Amino acid sequence: MPRTAFFISDGTGITAETLGRSLLAQFENVEIRMVTKPYIDSPDKARSLVAVIEAAAVRDGEQPIVIDTIVDNEIRSIISTAPGFKVDIFSTFLAPLEEELATHSTYTVGRTHSIGHDGVYMNRIDSVHFALDNDDGARTHQYDKADVILVGVSRCGKTPTSLYLALQFGIRAANYPLTEDDQDEDGTLKLPRCLAPHRHKLFGLTIDPRRLAAIRSERRPNSRYCSIDQCTQEVQQAEALYRQMHIPHIDTTRFSIEEISTRMIAETGLQRRFSPR
């Protein structure tokens, strides 16, 4: 039977879930059912959740894993009565930090993911709007305002990477698809004219043609667009262009969006406007 892990918070639950998933990902041989419980911000909600945890313990025949970022002492005390292996993130780390910094924590709910007063939230929104407005080569006249311009064949991961860079780091990312319209008469892929003035901002994405064909098949099955020959040709031409124009690039085949983004930032030295939340 799988073990159940609860990620509990009196806020969004993002911190508890992110850290919990990172820790549990190290145990590949254990089947774990993950449950996120945000906004446990009252004693009544806490007591109801204790009953849910108790039911999971009976069902699984094993004590659940309980990872929480509860700030309120009363709510934390109620949660502590539930059966389970407890990982109390705030109590584990805040007390030593209080000692080191010689001051007390504010113990404020929702500080990590709140809007705040430093403009970070609006910067995030502006960056996401920029990514959406400049998706898929939509507005090439705004490239002078871009921090980076992702290029690559259709469906290689440009759009989700652009949005992740905007949401997590405040990076203004545009993206441009390399298509047959950018080929010379002899069929050679050339650098599009709209990108030439911004070569220093370009970053290429590539992908294994078989993986690309599988992705495209979900969108347009049994079409030339998703054929392995077409995918192979497009990827080879894109990679040749990267080499010719000295465009830094990364193979997205086996990387998550998070890995693609952080590797790209590390390689290019892009400045984050804020740290991920």
The binding site for ADP consists of: 152-159
Q: How far is CA 185 from CA 29, 182, 188, in A?
A: 54, 10, 7
Query: Could you tell me the two tokens for 126?
Result: 């502006």
Query: Could you tell me the two tokens for 155?
Result: 């469906």
**Are the C-beta atoms of residues 122 and 268 closer than 8 Å to each other?**
no
Q: Distance (Å, rounded) from C-alpha 205 to C-alpha 212?
A: 12
Sign, CA dihedral 66-72-75-76, equals: positive
Q: Which residues are annotated as a binding site?
A: 152-159
Q: Distance (Å, rounded) from C-alpha 54 to C-alpha 79?
A: 11
Q: Distance (Å, rounded) from C-alpha 203 to C-alpha 246?
A: 10
